[in-house]
Amino acid sequence: MALVSDTEIDAFIEAHPAWSRDGEGISRTYEFSDFGQSMGFVTRVALEAEKANHHPDIDIRWSKVTLTLSTHSEGGITTRDLDLADTADGLSGHQNSG
């Protein structure tokens, strides 16, 4: 799978302003009302990631969950990362806002 261009990444971030470039990946922090909601979100993301065979780095901090997506085997960002970011936004109920 080929890396996406900087132009494609910039367009994705423009359309999804809660996401940001993070080195060779993209990251977003979601905030929930409590730990249970955070873990529910993590579980939903994990199930979708497993189906896609594409697994994010996940940092859980009580009511905050940060996802970092990168296709490590390709050394950067691919369409798999952008697709999973889109999926995670839908699963969070937060869409494109912080």
Q: Does 96 score more than 80 pLDDT?
A: no
Torsion of CA 42, 47, 53, 58, to 10 degrees: 10
Alpha-helix runs per DSSP H in the chain:
6-15, 35-52, 79-92
Residue-range domains of the chain with CATH: 6-92 (3.30.1360.20)
Please tell me the distance from the alpha carbon of residue 63 to that of residue 2, in angstroms, as a whole number. 35
pTM: 0.92
SS3 (DSSP) at 13: helix
| 24 CA to centre of own chain | 13
pLDDT bucket at 93, cuts 50 / 70 / 90:
confident
Three-state secondary structure call for residue 31? strand
Digit-coded pLDDT (tens) for 53-87: 999 999 999 999 999 999 999 999 999 999 999 99
**Whole-number average pLDDT of the chain:** 94
- What is the model's pLDDT at position 87? 97
Residue 29 to residues 15, 23, 56, Cα–Cα distance (Å): 16, 16, 13
Residue 97 to residue 64: CA distance in whole angstroms: 14
Q: What is the mean pLDDT of residues 28-40?
A: 97
